[in-house]
Amino acid sequence: MKTFFKNISIVALAVVFTASFVSCEATRNANNKQKGAVIGAAGGAILGAIIGNNAGKGGNGEIGAVIGGVVGGTAGVLIGDKMDKQAQKIEQEIPGAQVERVDDGIVVTFDENSGVYFDTNKYNINAASQETLNKLAAVLVEYPDTDVLVVGHTDSTGTDAYNMELSKNRAYAVTNYFTQNRGLSSGRFTTNWFGEQSPIADNSTAEGRAQNRRVNVAIVPNEKMVQDAEREASGN
């Protein structure tokens, strides 16, 4: 499965090339366990992986606060190791999903070819999508010290206002499935939506529109994970 790592520094890239290879594609391409100690509080790449240059345009405005910055030093190494393992687990359990290790987080992208998709003009979670979300929910249960950001997108078919509402409904459908059907704590989740504003492919083609009709799930360390890593790093 092809995965990507975005916006890393030259120094971090050097670490990637000198690090040991492991089985997880996301870990092999990013090696964030090593990167965490290098780039410190740079951050921001995970935001670009989800919405490109459209931060602040639509949705509920909480997206940046959820993502936060990157933890550096020894604590960053410890967090990176945990997130690498979680990314590897997601790839093993959901081989059709696109998994990216970005900064201290994980971005999972679902489109019509990768496990979670919606019928035209619909936002209900169908049976095939439920199977995929069940697998991701199991990983989230196994790794409880994370927060989750769900972001919905559409293609450019229809009006901007209609697509904004549709992307909102689809994003909340995913969030609600996790919290209402799988019993995950609603306090872990933030939901956002961007309609047609953040395409990743050409909307003039059917293939491109299919890619743009997507939901991103970003998984980031929560405050407990950060505090535990800092205590471990300080020897307390």
Interval 104-158: pLDDT, tens: 899 999 888 777 888 778 898 989 899 999 999 999 999 999 999 999 999 999 9
pLDDT at 26 over 90: no
Mean pLDDT of the chain: 78
pLDDT at 20 over 70: no
Domain count, the chain: 1
**Secondary structure letter of residue 201 according to DSSP:** S
Per the domain annotation, does 1 fall within a domain? no
Per the domain annotation, does 129 fall within a domain? yes
Look at residues 158, 231, 156, 218 and name the one whose alpha carbon lies nearest to residue 188: 218
pLDDT at 218 over 70: yes
pLDDT at 78 over 70: yes
Per the domain annotation, does 35 fall within a domain? yes
pTM of the model: 0.78
Select the more confidently predicted residue: 39 or 55: 55
pLDDT at 36 over 80: no
Pairing of strands 105-110, 146-152: unpaired
Residue ranges in the chain assigned as alpha helix (H)? 10-18, 25-30, 32-39, 45-51, 63-67, 73-93, 127-142, 160-176, 206-212, 223-234
Per the domain annotation, does 108 fall within a domain? yes
The pLDDT value given to residue 54: 55
The CATH number assigned to the domain holding 21 equals 3.30.1330.60
Region 36-52: mean pLDDT is 53
Q: Please give the Cα distance from 2 to 21 (Å, whole number).
A: 16
Per the domain annotation, does 50 fall within a domain? yes
Per the domain annotation, does 5 fall within a domain? no
The pLDDT value given to residue 50: 73
- For residue 8 the two structure tokens come to 């890393």
pLDDT at 232 over 70: yes
pLDDT for 156-200, tens place per residue?
A: 999 999 999 999 999 999 999 999 999 999 999 999 999 999 888
Residue 45 pLDDT class (50, 70, 90 cuts)? confident
pLDDT at 60 over 50: no
Residue 1 pLDDT class (50, 70, 90 cuts)? very low
pLDDT at 22 over 70: no
Residue 68 pLDDT class (50, 70, 90 cuts)? low
Domain enclosing residue 165, as ranges: 10-234
Per the domain annotation, does 62 fall within a domain? yes
**118, 110 contact by CB (below 8 A):** no
Per the domain annotation, does 2 fall within a domain? no
